[in-house]
Amino acid sequence: MAHRVTFIPGDGIGPEVAWAARRCLEATGVAFAWDERPAGEAAIKAFNTPLPPDTLASIRETRVAIKGPVTTPIGTGFRSVNVALRKALNLYACLRPCRSFEGVRSPWRDVDLVVVRENTEDLYAGIEFPAKDEQTLTLIKQLKEWTQQPIQDDAAISIKPISRTASERIIRFACDYALAHGRKKVTAIHKANIMKYTDGLFMETARRVGEAYRGRLTVEDRLVDATCMQLVLKPQDFDVLVLPNLYGDILSDLCAGLIGGLGVAPGANLGDGVAVFEAVHGSAPKYAGQNKVNPTAMILSGVLLLEHLGEREAAARLERAVRDVLREGRAVTYDLKADRNDPAAVGTKEMAAAIAERLRHDKVPV
């Protein structure tokens, strides 16, 4: 029977990379029944909201979606559709595998790590107070009284909730993922030496949860700043990383850089029984509509989708097709060429077509 999947093209470069991924997913021979739904700018035009209730309802029903990136205007306008989706569907875990690709220029050849980011709380919880607002001034006055700490009266304030519940849930998720995927080590990342209560709680939880995995996994913890340096110097020392939301967002991009950039970094947002697959990169508006950007990250997010659906053989074939095309380095987009102005670079559609074509010649189960 066909897999029912909600298909959200997104905006900016979203539709181009989402359709490229859809084309490659269909080329695996797996049957899909797509339910296409808008989000972002297209949805604002048609429904006056960036995240129409029907889009959410569709994901609630199909339990699985693949989504192109969506633009979040900075400072003004609507809050992030991505954050809203994660909250509404309780997609508490963000999974971002980073593996080196032959043929892709990068500082390292043998990176193989997985970033697991907590998706629901931390400074990304959206609890913010604008500068000079009446409520903010009241809050500042109260905080000064409670803490005896100086805070400028014209400060804006963001709240960083880190709970034992969400920390334990994400650390267990990372450990269970590590065990299920034959990985050996989970490193919990924090800044507990400075943020003793919030990051301290995350660190303590990692140590406590880690005890339950003793003998099966190494569970360690490290400071976020030291980890950034170590990742750049020796990424081979890491296996699965588990982080609160903000550090997770930043280190995902850092790790994408270790394997050749955002163009090749896939991702998944997972909750209990619901999953939304999307690239790490955003909507890169300056490239929208040019058939120029790299579809690899979205196509590899499609590989994660296939694995989630239990289509392991098709997932392996699609990943192999992507790796083959990257290794050959011919039918690839500008960002993967040694010279970004190389006239031999192909477009988004053409790269997806090359991967789909490769799949047609690879029908042998792995």
Q: How far is the CB of 243 from ligand NAD (least distance, A)?
A: 16
Q: Is 283 in the site for ligand NAD (CB under 6 A)?
A: yes
Q: Is 262 in the site for ligand NAD (CB under 6 A)?
A: yes
Q: Is 219 in the site for ligand NAD (CB under 6 A)?
A: no
Helix axes 81-88, 53-62, angle to 10 degrees: 50
Which among 89, 2, 102 is positioned nearest to 273, based on CA atoms? 89
Q: How far apart are CA 228 and CA 112, in angstroms?
A: 16
Q: Is 355 in the site for ligand NAD (CB under 6 A)?
A: no
Q: How far is the CB of 293 from ligand NAD (least distance, A)?
A: 4
Q: Is 187 in the site for ligand NAD (CB under 6 A)?
A: no
Amino acid at 280: V
Binding mask 129-168 for ligand NAD (x = CB under 6 A): ----------------------------------------
Q: How far is the CB of 215 from ligand NAD (least distance, A)?
A: 38
Quick one: which H or E segment has residue 199?
helix 198-212
Quick one: which H or E segment has residue 205?
helix 198-212
Q: How far is the CB of 190 from ligand NAD (least distance, A)?
A: 23
Which among 261, 257, 255 is positioned nearest to 240, based on CA atoms? 255
CA distances in angstroms from 169 to 7, 27, 113, 311, listed in the order given: 28, 36, 20, 26
Q: Do 283 and 69 contact (CB within 8 A), yes or no?
A: yes
Q: Is 70 in the site for ligand NAD (CB under 6 A)?
A: yes
Q: How far is the CB of 297 from ligand NAD (least distance, A)?
A: 6
Q: Is 117 in the site for ligand NAD (CB under 6 A)?
A: no
Q: How far apart are CA 252 and CA 33, in angstroms?
A: 31
Q: Is 249 in the site for ligand NAD (CB under 6 A)?
A: no
What counts of helices (H) and strands (E) characterise the chain?
12, 12
Return the number of the residue (122 or 221) whose C-beta is nearest ligand NAD. 122
Number of residues that bind ligand NAD (CB under 6 A): 18
Return the number of the residue (214 or 286) whose C-beta is nearest ligand NAD. 286
Residues annotated catalytic, as ranges:
124, 191, 225, 249
Touching ligand NAD, residues 80-99 (CB under 6 A) = 82
Helix axes 312-328, 14-27, angle to 10 degrees: 120
Which among 88, 89, 70, 90 is positioned nearest to 80, based on CA atoms? 70
Q: Is 282 in the site for ligand NAD (CB under 6 A)?
A: yes
Binding mask 297-316 for ligand NAD (x = CB under 6 A): x-------------------
Tokens of 345: 């670079």
Binding residues for ligand NAD, per CB under 6 A? 17, 69-72, 82, 262-263, 278, 281-284, 286, 293-294, 297, 335
